[in-house]
């Protein structure tokens, strides 16, 4: 069982992407542990910014939370005085949207922004710099489970930019001793998930009585990870000694097909629904599954939330939205 981690009280933290899905949950947990949090978000129009405003509504009422509305790629050195821990969660998200003319947004927000933040970090005294990477760096490795030492073969421009930023973190650690740790998230879900992601779309369609759309046959498999476990992994990465420069898979521990997920949702919701299958989308790997041996051994991290329980929590959150 996971021993829950907390940073020292009054630790000063920077959370980039603080109004996003992971960033808002992480900021809430840090504040609950007595930390002071500076959140940064540029509120891109990738999805309705009203959802981001809702994510941080309660955070803005906390006197220990400060919000900077700015683009990290326009970083100014005096923004983050006194920060001890960085949780770099911001990114231009979305595998399917990363093709074509949109690619410049991905290079700016995923690569350039990370490089600017690392340049700032090498001139300050941080205790830890935790970078949110992605299982998208693996692509179609042809090998399961996916291990951190496997050769990355991204299938999408998004995956390429996340891998590039991960390499930058490693370079700044090797050359300037920036205390980076990279976490490769495997398909994060839970309350507040982005509206373009599968579970959000599925649950919304079920509750509205709409048809569900699946890209592919539904037999593609994923390692789904609950948001609470992602937050805990970040805290473990920030507080565990002698792990600077390391990369870790953060998976939920269960590999299941999309069709299998639909069966769970049918049982939890008690509602029948129709499914329409569309062609697979460019950039989507057929399978993901995390080898979590390294993170178990070095960070003593194990996911706590089963897929059944996590989906029940997410379903309830939709019913409670005002």
User: Which of 287, 288, 263 is closest to 275 using CA atoms?
Assistant: 263
Residue 139: DSSP 8-state? B
pLDDT at 4: 65
Catalytic status, residue 189: no
pLDDT at 2: 47
Print pLDDT tens along the chain (322 aa). 445 678 999 999 999 999 999 999 999 999 999 999 999 999 887 667 888 999 999 999 999 999 999 999 988 767 788 999 999 999 988 887 788 888 999 999 999 999 999 999 999 999 999 999 999 999 988 899 999 999 999 999 999 999 999 999 999 999 999 999 999 999 999 999 999 899 999 999 999 999 999 999 999 999 999 999 999 999 999 999 999 999 999 999 989 999 999 999 999 999 999 999 999 888 788 999 999 999 999 999 999 999 999 999 999 999 876 4
pLDDT at 322: 47
Q: Global pTM?
A: 0.95
* Phi, psi dihedral angles at 73 (to 5 degrees): -70, -15
Q: Which CATH class is domain 12-320?
A: alpha beta
311 contact partners, CB below 8 Å, separation of at least 6: 189, 199, 261, 264, 265, 268
Q: How far apart are CA 188 and CA 31, in angstroms?
A: 21
pLDDT at 79: 74
Buried b (16+ CB within 10 A) or exposed e, 109-130: bbbbbbbbbbebbeeeebbbbb
The answer to whether residues 2 and 232 touch, using CB atoms and an 8 Å cutoff, is: yes
Q: How far apart are CA 188 and CA 195, in angstroms?
A: 13
Catalytic site residue from 85, 158, 248, 289: 158
Q: Give me 14's structure tokens.
A: 């920077």
């Amino acid at each position: 069982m996971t021993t829950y981690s907390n940073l020292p009280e009054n630790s000063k933290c920077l959370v980039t992407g603080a109004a996003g899905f992971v960033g808002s949950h992480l900021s809430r947990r840090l504040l609950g542990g007595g930390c002071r949090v500076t959140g940064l978000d540029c509120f891109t129009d990738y999805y309705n910014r009203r959802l981001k405003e809702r994510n941080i509504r309660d955070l803005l009422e906390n006197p220990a939370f400060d919000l900077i509305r700015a683009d990290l790629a326009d970083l100014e050195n005096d923004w983050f005085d006194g920060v001890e821990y960085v949780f770099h969660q911001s990114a231009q998200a979305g595998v399917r949207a990363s093709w074509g003319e949109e690619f410049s947004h991905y290079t700016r927000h995923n690569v350039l922004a990370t490089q600017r933040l690392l340049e700032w970090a090498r001139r300050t005294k941080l205790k830890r710099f935790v970078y949110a990477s992605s299982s998208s760096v693996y692509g179609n490795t042809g090998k399961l489970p996916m291990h951190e030492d496997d050769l990355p073969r991204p299938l999408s421009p998004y995956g390429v930019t996340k891998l590039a930023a991960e390499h930058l973190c490693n370079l700044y650690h090797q050359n300037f001793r920036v205390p980076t740790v990279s976490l490769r998230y495997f398909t994060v879900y839970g309350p507040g998930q982005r509206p373009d992601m599968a579970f959000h779309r599925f649950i919304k369609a079920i509750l509205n009585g709409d048809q569900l759309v699946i890209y592919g046959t539904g037999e593609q498999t994923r390692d789904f990870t609950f948001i609470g476990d992602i937050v805990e992994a970040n805290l473990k990465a920030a507080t565990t000694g002698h792990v600077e420069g390391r990369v870790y898979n953060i998976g939920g521990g269960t590999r299941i097909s999309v069709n299998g997920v639909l069966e769970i949702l049918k049982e939890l919701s008690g509602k029948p629904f129709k499914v329409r299958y569309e062609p697979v989308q460019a950039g989507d790997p057929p399978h993901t599954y995390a080898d979590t041996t390294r993170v178990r051994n070095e960070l003593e991290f194990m996911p706590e939330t089963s897929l059944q329980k996590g989906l029940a929590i997410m379903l309830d959150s939709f019913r409670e939205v005002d």
